[in-house]
Amino acid sequence: KDKGCELRRRAKFDDFVLDDDGRVVGVTIREEYRFDDKLYSDDLENTSGTKKTLKANKGVVLAAGGFCRDKAFRKLQDPRIPDDVDSTNHPGATAGALLKAFEIGAYPVQVDWIQFGPWASPDEKGFGTAPILTQQGTFKYGIAVDIRTGKRFMNELADRKTRADAEFKILREKPGAYPITFADTKMAFKDLSEEIIQKGMGSGKIVGECATLDDIAKKYGVPADALKETVKKYNEGVKAKKDEFGKQESALSEINEAGPFYVIRLSPKPHHTMGGLKINTKAEVISSKTNKPIPGLYAAGEITGGTHGASRLGTVAITDCIV
Ligand SMILES: Cc1cc2nc3c(=O)[nH]c(=O)nc-3n(C[C@H](O)[C@H](O)[C@H](O)COP(=O)(O)OP(=O)(O)OC[C@H]3O[C@@H](n4cnc5c(N)ncnc54)[C@H](O)[C@@H]3O)c2cc1C
């Protein structure tokens, strides 16, 4: 407001208006637009709202975010993502605005680098509570196991990409065979607030409670002997201060083999899109036709690409949004 901007709700950006020299001089929008998350592609199918053209005084800043919820576009970029996989992002995280920028010649950068949350659960919607219960709980004080073999398959504290790729490998070999993570109840959530624990346990769907390793095996369809052997081996690694998957020594603590246990199923959910529009240090969008800025077009936030590499570190996306 201080800078003379007017905030408009229910205004959908549809396209750019260019002058004869290719400068972005405005946008077409639809007012009173209603997003419809029941559509397969809101960008392509939703015709609501009244069309209007807006003239830009100085330029247009595109800040339409990432595309984690765009089922069609995300699958084209990374075929591992089935349509029924939920995202941690909001329903409006679609690729329509990004595609419009590509149409006028903006350079795409690393568009297929989609980050997944390896700590998410298929048993709740969106981001939910599981990411906290796993990251600050069972991943730290327990292990993750492939239910088909009863064996560990990753360093539970590796970077997001390494863990999500490991989970995807299992789910592509056997769709629906969600890996599990568990720790004994004494340790599992000891660093978490009562409020978070209650939120996670409250629904009765996210956290399974099992008295013994045999109960885990029965409930989640894991080979029991292999599971027991895995926990034994993990504890031996803890004692020797050497983990077979390279889990950090400071995070190694023994699992009480006698139980009881808290168990959470894992599903890598699309969380952030690292790729997008190529910009320069002035946030000008670079054209693939000239390798120079597209006059009048700027971009900021998750719609830009190339800043984070293949695996964005947690907490650093906010810097993208500073114009
Ligand atoms: C659950 C979760 C937790 C996160 N935690 C962190 C964290 O702790 N630290 C961190 O740094 N990052 C975090 N991130 C990432 C970070 O929040 C995002 O990258 C950042 O918020 C993106 O901001 P943005 O303004 O670019 O996009 P968004 O916040 O996605 O905003 C884009 C807006 O544009 C709208 N839009 C899209 N298309 C159109 C169109 N055609 N017309 C009109 N409007 C449109 C969208 O509906 C949306 O409102 C997290 C992300 C998620 C999902």
At 119-144, the pLDDT tens digits run 999 999 999 999 999 999 999 999 99
For residue 19, how far is its CA from the centre of ligand 1 (angstroms)?
30
% of the chain at pLDDT higher than 70: 99
**Which helix or strand (DSSP H or E) is residue 149 part of?**
none
At 17-39, the pLDDT tens digits run 999 999 999 999 999 999 999 99
| pLDDT at residue 264, rounded to an integer | 98
Show the domains of the chain with their CATH numbers: 12-115+271-321 (3.50.50.60), 119-267 (3.90.700.10)
Mean pLDDT along residues 73-95: 95
Decide: 258 in ligand 1 pocket, CB within 6 A: no
At 242-285, the pLDDT tens digits run 999 999 999 999 999 999 999 999 999 999 999 999 999 999 99
Secondary structure string (H, E, C) spanning 17-49: EECCCCCEEEEEEEECCCCCCCCCCHHHHCCCC
Decide: 44 in ligand 1 pocket, CB within 6 A: no
For residue 49, how far is its CA from the centre of ligand 1 (angstroms)?
23
For residue 301, how far is its CA from the centre of ligand 1 (angstroms)?
7
Decide: 301 in ligand 1 pocket, CB within 6 A: yes
Atom number of ligand 1 nearest to Cα 89 = 53
pLDDT band at 321 (very low <50, low <70, confident <90, very high): confident
For residue 321, how far is its CA from the centre of ligand 1 (angstroms)?
9
What is the four-CA torsion angle of 261, 256, 243, 214, rounded to 10 degrees?
Answer: -50
Decide: 63 in ligand 1 pocket, CB within 6 A: yes
Q: Look up residue 69 and give its DSSP letter.
A: T
At 69-78, the pLDDT tens digits run 999 999 999 9
- The token pair that represents 83 in the structure block: 């349509």
At 189-199, the pLDDT tens digits run 999 999 999 99
Judge whether 168 and 82 are in contact, CB under 8 Å.
no
Judge whether 124 and 269 are in contact, CB under 8 Å.
no
Atom number of ligand 1 nearest to Cα 97 = 41
ipTM of the predicted structure? 0.98
Residue 10 appears among annotated catalytic residues: no
Decide: 130 in ligand 1 pocket, CB within 6 A: no
| pLDDT at residue 322, rounded to an integer | 67
* Distance, CA of 187 to CA of 190 (rounded, Å): 5
Atom number of ligand 1 nearest to Cα 126 = 1
List 30, 69, 74, 160, catalytic entry: 160
Mean pLDDT along residues 80-86: 92
